[in-house]
Amino acid sequence: MKAFVIGPIGDKDVEDGSPARLAYEEGIQVFEDVIAPACTAFGLEAVRADMISRAGEIPEQIFRQLRDCPVVIADLTGANPNVMYELGLRHTTGLVTIQIGEKGRLPFDVAAIRTIMFKRTEAGLVQARKDLSKSLVANLNTGGDPVTATRIWFEASLLEQKSTAPESAEVADATSDEDAPGFLELLAEMETGTQSLVQTTVAAASIIQDISAVYSEATASIHQAEASGGGASARLAIAELTATKLNEQAARLEVVSGEFARTVDRIEPGIQYLLGRLAEEPEQLAAVPDFPLQVKNLCDAARSSIEGSNAMRTNAIEIGKASRSLKRAGERLAPSFKRFSDTSERVAGWSKLLDILSPPQTDLKAAANGPE
Residues 6 or more apart whose Cβ sits within 8 Å of residue 106:
76, 77, 79, 115, 117
pTM over 0.75: no
Tens digit of each residue's pLDDT (9 = 90 or more) over 310-369: 999 999 999 889 899 999 999 989 999 999 999 999 999 888 888 876 554 344 444 445
- For residue 142, count other CB atoms closer than 10 A to its CB: 10
Q: What is the pLDDT of residues 56-87, one digit of tens each?
A: 455 777 888 888 888 999 998 887 788 888 88
- Distant-in-sequence, close-in-space partners of 346: CB < 8 Å, separation ≥ 6: 264, 268, 302
Higher pLDDT, 21 or 258: 21
Phi, psi of 71 (to 5 degrees): -135, 130
3-class secondary structure for 236-254? HHHHHHHHHHHHHHHHHHH
The model's pLDDT over 129-144, given as tens digits with 9 standing for 90+, comes to 989 988 887 777 555 5
Give the residues across from 5 on adjacent strands: 48, 73
Whether the Cβ atoms of residue 28 and residue 7 lie closer than 8 Å to each other: no
Q: Which CATH code for domain 2-142?
A: 3.40.50.360
pLDDT band (50, 70, 90) for residue 109: low
For residue 102, the cross-strand partners are: 118
HSE toward the beta carbon, residue 239, CA cutoff 13 A: 18
- Residue 130's CB: how many other CB atoms inside 10 A? 13
The DSSP 8-state label assigned to residue 223 in this structure reads H
* Separation of alpha carbons 36 and 50, rounded Å: 15
Res 67: pLDDT: 85
Of 169 and 285, more confident: 285
pLDDT of residue 107 exceeding 60, the answer is: yes
How far apart CA 100 and CA 125 sit, in angstroms, is: 11
Q: Tens of pLDDT along 227-237?
A: 888 788 888 99
The per-residue pLDDT for range 29-53, each reduced to its tens digit, is 999 999 998 888 887 889 987 776 5
